[in-house]
Amino acid sequence: MNLDLAILLAPFVAGLLVLATHVPLGAQVLRRGIVFIDLAIAQIAALGVIVAGLLDVAPGGWQVQLAAAAAAVAGALLLTWTEKRWPEVQEAQIGVLFVLAATAGILLLAKNPHGGEHLRDLLAGQILWVGFGQLWVPAAITALILALWFGWRERLPRLGFYLLFALAVTVSVQLVGVYLVFASLIVPALGVRQHAEARRLPLAYAIGIGGYALGLVLSSLFDLPSGALIVWCLAVLAVLAHASSPRRSAA
């Protein structure tokens, strides 16, 4: 077993950037009852990355970011329209959109000899290989999202929420992958839902930070996939937080 904390620092900072926006957005998603929106938007952003790759756009360049953002915004606009048109089945529509985006990615990469590997990277992510040079733009966008969210969230219309959400997911999915984006959004929010209102946000951040730190350390020690292990660490900490909630204990 070998542990090099210096190697884990940049991936951990990437995780903190994802958590910074996804923890408060996750609470809102859970409140609105549209849990699978994150998976859908993340998968659509990933589809944008796949299309950019098929057009021979250099990986990691601004053109890829633009393609992912354009796809995510298109998905957000579509979901805004479907929520207005058929609000009673919005969750089902989100699920259908996720399946369509996922299968479109499979079809587009069917003839690519490295398609399976590319899909795996988009889903599970490659957080362990994130470097500090990749984090400057996500850090700036994260600061903008947080400023808009904490300063204007009460006045954000439905479209504003979806667009802000799409921007957050676009930044996150290329850093940590679809699975970790979803887990970062939903798992901490689930773990704290029975705690007092004032404790939920700090406790959700604690679950997220602990999950990323523990997952990265364990993945380095035991040479296991980082993204998958972080998801499990987040889930375990969320279960412990839920089990220790006052309302749960009272019940």
Query: Tens of pLDDT along 89-127?
Result: 888 898 999 999 999 999 998 888 777 777 777 777 789
CB of 42 closer than 8 Å to CB of 49: no
Residue 214 lies in a domain: yes
Question: How many domains would you assign to the chain?
Answer: 1
Residue 226 lies in a domain: yes
How many residues are recorded in the chain? 251
* pLDDT at residue 218 in the model: 94
Average pLDDT, the chain: 88
Query: Tens of pLDDT along 34-93?
Result: 777 878 888 998 899 888 888 877 766 678 878 888 999 999 899 889 988 898 888 889
- Domain of residue 67, residue span: 5-243
Residue 249 lies in a domain: no
User: What's 230's domain CATH number?
Assistant: 1.10.3470.10
Q: Which amino acid type is present at position 9?
A: L
CB of 150 closer than 8 Å to CB of 105: no
Residue 102 lies in a domain: yes
Distance CA 45, CA 148 (A): 21
Residue 76 lies in a domain: yes
Query: Tens of pLDDT along 187-208?
Result: 999 999 999 999 999 999 999 9
Residue 157 lies in a domain: yes
Helix (H, G, I), strand (E, B) or coil at 157: coil
Query: Tens of pLDDT along 27-36?
Result: 888 887 777 7
Distance CA 78, CA 81 (A): 5
Q: Which pLDDT band holds residue 247 (cuts at 50, 70, 90)?
A: low
> For residue 183, which of 249, 132, 123 has the smallest C-alpha distance?
123
* pLDDT at residue 161 in the model: 85
CB of 43 closer than 8 Å to CB of 178: yes
Helix (H, G, I), strand (E, B) or coil at 165: helix
Residue 204 lies in a domain: yes
Q: Which amino acid type is present at position 168?
A: A
Counting residues of the chain whose pLDDT is more than 90, the rounded percentage is 45
Q: What is the pTM of this model?
A: 0.85
Query: Tens of pLDDT along 157-181?
Result: 878 888 888 889 888 888 898 899 9
Residue 31 lies in a domain: yes
* pLDDT at residue 61 in the model: 65
pLDDT score of 186 more than 50: yes
